[in-house]
Amino acid sequence: MTASGAPLPIEPITRPFDATVTLPGSKSYSNRALLVAALAHGTSEITQALASDDTRYMHRALEALGVRVRADETARTFAVEGVDGRFPVTQATLQIGNAGTAARFLTAAVALGRGEFVIDGSPAMRKRPIEPLLAGLRALGVDAVSREGTGCPPVVVRADGLPGGRARMRGDISSQYFSALLLAAPYARRDVEIEVEGELVSAPYITMTMSTMTAFGVRAERDGDRHFRVPAGQRYQARGYVVEPDASGASYFFAAAAVTGSRVVVPRLGRASAQGDLGLLDVLARMGCEVTYEADSVTLRGPARLRAIDADFTRMGDVATTLMAIAPFADGPVTVRGIAQTHFGESDRPVAAATELTRMGLRVESTHDSVTIHPGLPRPTDVETYDDHRIAMSFAVT
């Protein structure tokens, strides 16, 4: 949709392209860095950051907590004066829209303060589960509850610092619960240990969390995807931090090249990146794409036609809809599985994607954890985006 609310027309590509695409910074890294810089000792400068609804919600929430943040969206920078682990205010209501990282990360972070804090959001956010995180916080000695008893926001945290100890949380809904506890854990009075119950989805995002913590001077320990530990007594130290491009944002350009036999180069996103969403490139390679990693760039060239595939997205759920959107153009059925956790995103993404593909005249079969799309030529239609940027961007490629 345009700013006026009118539909945004998308014209089909009529010939292959050869492009270099410079992308904005990762939302995931931007919001992690904003929170860590806010908790740090000293003033940090975050550059190449993403200017988006999610980072604006995080920015405003941090200011409501008494943190001084100077943003320059044109220059894509934030200057953050850290509070050394202790928010100055004793009461605040934080409005975070439908920003999942802001909701989960701030719920844990405000436990470091003293006073009563409310985290609330949009109607869609009030349907997104957060109870596993609240249970984890309670296990660490924090008074944290869902105000309406729904297991979703609004959340009320009556904070008196983070005592620490051991928590066990289910891992099949969101890795953000674990990232939230890890980010706050250095300021606990005792060591924090976190155990995973069941399978951990989107585990690479925890690698991103731990790399951000390391960059700001804090050590976290990990035993595979089952157990995490953060020794007490550590403090984040201010620094200059450069945000790498967003791999999930890059996925739409990779998908566009893949489905049109084109070539695209994405700079500053190389083989050393910890972003799990780059796993989509392995899937696209299996479908016939030529993928080349350099130290500081990725290049993808699409084939004459994509091959059918059955692919597991348990570790990279945010790009599952990207593949669903181009699946009709493959030479056979495409199955996207391991996506149960994506029912709890900004929209019910598997249902949303299946619904829109069906409206385009395509044959789609769904289970709770998978979607299979049969090949066919999508017919022109108005696509409902469900107020979810991933649905909008994915189907812009279709």
The residues assigned a catalytic role are: 318
The burial of 200, by beta-carbon neighbours within 10 Å (0-12 exposed, 13-18 middle, 19 or more buried), is given as: buried
The burial of 280, by beta-carbon neighbours within 10 Å (0-12 exposed, 13-18 middle, 19 or more buried), is given as: buried
C-alpha angle with apex 248: 243 to 253, nearest 5 degrees? 105
CA distance 119 to 152: 10
Listed in sequence order, the residues at least 6 apart from 180 whose beta carbon sits closer than 8 Å to its beta carbon are 104, 105, 107, 108, 109, 133
C-alpha angle with apex 348: 206 to 283, nearest 5 degrees? 55
Residue from 62, 168, 151 nearest 110 by CA: 62
* DSSP-derived pairing of the beta strands 263-267 and 18-20: parallel
Determine if residue 351 is left, alpha or beta; phi over 0 gives left, psi from -120 to 50 gives alpha, anything else beta: alpha
3-state SS class at 394: helix
Q: Would you tell me the crossing angle of helices 100-109 and 27-39 to the nearest 10 degrees?
A: 20
396, HSE (Cβ side, Cα atoms, 13 Å): 15
Tokens of 273: 């990146």
Q: What is the DSSP string of 304-371?
A: SSPPP-EEE-TT-GGGHHHHHHHGGGSSS-EEEES-GGGGGSSS-HHHHHHHHHHHTT--EEEETTEE
Tokens of 236: 């984040």
3-state SS class at 117: strand
97, HSE (Cβ side, Cα atoms, 13 Å): 17
Sign of CA dihedral 339, 345, 350, 351: positive
